[in-house]
Amino acid sequence: MTGRVQTAVVGVTGYAGAELARLLLRHPRLHGAPPVFAGRVEEKDLARGGVPLIEIHPQLAGDNGNGNLKQEPFSWELLAERGVEVLFLATPHEQSRAWVPQALARGLRVIDLSGAWRLTDAANRAIYAFEDEGSNQAAATQAQAVYGMPELYREKIAGARLIANPGCYATSVILAVKPLAAAGLLDLDHGVIADAKSGVSGAGKAPTPKTHFMYAADNLSAYGVFTHRHTGELLEQIGIDAGDMVFTPHLLPIPRGIFSTIYVRFKQPLTRSAVSRVYEEFFAGSPMVRFHDKTLPQIQYAVHTNYADIGFQLDASGRRAVIVSCLDNLLKGAAGQAVQNLNVMLGWPESEGLA
């Protein structure tokens, strides 16, 4: 695909969906070809052809024609009529599980923001309890999925028909640990500890007792200990066993952002320059990773960007390191990474429309 590309977004009503709409509407390569927005439309809105986008997300209003865009009733016929070539699914895992095979059968390329197709190991997928687990169709679809982290799989993404966008926590931890693991530096007998904290938007738009203001404000809580769905992504992508890592997510009383503190031990003493060189070489040519050699990252500098910020401190022995990784869970952890994958898929500059 080299000319104008028609995209569609299903699931625009959520937090990640809002960011996805904003990025695609501003993308220089998509000027004049706004996405088709499709989803569930209540009967009262059918007479007007759907729900105006600016009623769902008033922040997208302006003089750029967005006022004419609507979320229309989803159908495969609608996508075909509009000439959609790339479909973004910001839908629940179960919905993506059902729709992705149908989309592929219709010749669409898919970027799925859910966890439906991220995991290759059935033991790791078990936490989702997918009803179609073990079916021939699920296996065939999974075989086509490429894990959508350009820093790891840029070449595979370029030719992919199905991209499984990574989880937000997973992105933060994998980018911090993978360079060290790939270089064979980690002493896994001492394990890896990943202590990660996310803003409330990471839990999605649907309110829950634990994301209620009265619970989350002025509070810090751990959850999903040993059971979080992103754990399987960490194990598969870093290339370690379950016994080699402890991952603990926490809920921060802020709207957005992820702050991961990761503790590792090396097989032998290393100098700071040696560790820095590993990161710099691994992320050479990766415009959406900012390696901080002199300072540690902070959430305030990563939010509202598509950058993953990574830095570390080495102890006096050269055997232990603390790595800090920050990103915006709605951008590099979701919608921004999805657009980054679109760029790579279509052969466009990786950071276009993002930096």
Q: The CATH number of the domain where 68 resides is what?
A: 3.40.50.720
In the chain, how many domains are there?
2
**In this prediction, what percent of the chain has a pLDDT beyond 90?**
92
Same structural domain, 276 and 253:
yes
Same structural domain, 292 and 150:
no
Same structural domain, 159 and 77:
yes
Rounded CA separation 196/215 (Å): 19
Does residue 209 register a pLDDT over 90?
Answer: no
Structure confidence at residue 144 as a pLDDT band (50, 70, 90): very high
Q: Is residue 354 domain-resident?
A: no
Same structural domain, 181 and 115:
no
pTM for the model stands at 0.95
pLDDT at 62: 81
Place of tokens 């952002």: 257
Rounded CA separation 326/328 (Å): 7
Same structural domain, 104 and 185:
no
Active-site hit among 24, 168, 264, 275: 168
Same structural domain, 286 and 204:
yes
Annotated active-site residue 168? The verdict is yes
Higher pLDDT, 168 or 206: 168
Average pLDDT, the chain: 95
Same structural domain, 177 and 318:
yes
Does residue 3 register a pLDDT over 70?
Answer: no
Same structural domain, 144 and 197:
no
Output the domain CATH number for residue 215: 3.30.360.10
Same structural domain, 114 and 146:
yes
Lateral strand order in the sheet of 36-39:
51-52, 70-73, 36-39, 7-10, 86-89, 109-112, 162-164, 145-147
Same structural domain, 157 and 211:
no
22's enclosing H/E stretch is helix 15-26
Q: Is residue 355 domain-resident?
A: no
Q: Is residue 319 domain-resident?
A: yes
Q: Is residue 353 domain-resident?
A: no
H helix runs in 185-298, sequence order: 213-216, 231-238, 272-282
Q: Is residue 81 domain-resident?
A: yes
Same structural domain, 91 and 132:
yes
Strand partners for 291: 310
DSSP for residue 146: E
Same structural domain, 92 and 57:
yes
Q: Is residue 183 domain-resident?
A: yes
Domain span at residue 33 reads: 7-165+334-346
Q: Is residue 289 domain-resident?
A: yes
